[in-house]
Amino acid sequence: MDILQINSNNNKNQYDKQLINLIEKRIRKNLRSKDILKKDQTIYVIDPLTMFFLERIVTLPVNIVRLSKKELNIKEYNYTIFTNKEVKLFRKKMKKNEILFLPLLLDDYCALFLQSHFADQQIKKQALHSLFETITYEEIKVIAEKFKLKVPFNRKDDLYQLLDALEAKFNGTKHALYNSLQFYNKNLI
C-alpha cells in the first residue's frame, strides 16, 4: 500500500499510526531481507530521521553513534553520496561489527541507476546501507511533517524532476527502477 493513498478520513491518531506502521513495516522488511543488523553492533548515523526510526525499530542491543555531515564531508543528501571519497574511507576503516546508515531514499537509488545509464557507465555494486531504501521522497516528507522532523534531502537535480514526472505519469516507476537496479546488482555484477 502506498502511504499517500492511506485514507485520511479516519481520526487523526489512527491515520498517524497507519502511516508510521507502514513505514516501519517496510524498513523492517528491508533490514530482514538484507540481514545486516546483528547483536552488539555499532551503528553510525548521520541524520536525525534515521536516528528516529532506528530508535523505534531496533530491539537488539546495539550502540548507535551519531556522526556529523562535516566528519564525512557530505554537502547534500542525494545520490552524490555514492561517490563521496570520505564515506568510502570511513567505510574502509570500520570494523566487522560496525555499520554506517546513510540517508538515502529510493529516489537516490533510482537517480544513480538513471545517471549511470545516461552517462553509459557501468554501475558498481554498492555496499551502502540505508533505512529508507524502499521509501520515496514524497512518503518520507509526509512522515517528517507528521512528527515535526526536518527532511534533510536535496531534490534540486534534474534527475529527480525526471523521476517525479515519470512517477506522476506512470505510477510505480520508482519502485520498478529500484527493482531493476537490485536485479542488476544481484545477477550482472
- Tell me the average pLDDT across 85-93: 84
Where is pLDDT greater, at 13 or 55? 55
- Tell me the average pLDDT across 132-141: 87
State what percent of residues in the chain have pLDDT above 90.
4
- Tell me the average pLDDT across 58-69: 85
Q: Where are the domains of the chain?
A: 3-106+125-151
Predicted local distance difference test score (pLDDT) of residue 142? 83
The string of pLDDT tens digits covering residues 94-117 is 888 888 888 888 888 888 888 877
Res 3 pLDDT > 60: no
Q: At what angle do helices 48-57 and 12-34 cross, to 10 degrees?
A: 90
Predicted local distance difference test score (pLDDT) of residue 34? 84
Does pTM surpass 0.75?
yes
Given a contact cutoff of 8 angstroms between Cβ atoms, the answer to whether 77 and 131 are in contact is no
Predicted local distance difference test score (pLDDT) of residue 105? 87
Predicted local distance difference test score (pLDDT) of residue 5? 55
Where is pLDDT greater, at 81 or 37? 37
Residue 152 binned pLDDT confidence (cut-offs 50, 70, 90)? confident
What is the enclosing helix (H) or strand (E) of 117? helix 106-118
Residue 6: what residue type? I
Per-residue b/e over 162-175, b at no fewer than 16 CB within 10 Å? ebbebbeeeeebbe
Measured between alpha carbons, how far is 112 from 178 in angstroms, rounded to an integer?
Answer: 10
Res 158 pLDDT > 90: no
Predicted local distance difference test score (pLDDT) of residue 170? 92
Measured between alpha carbons, how far is 41 from 81 in angstroms, rounded to an integer?
Answer: 23
- Tell me the average pLDDT across 83-101: 85
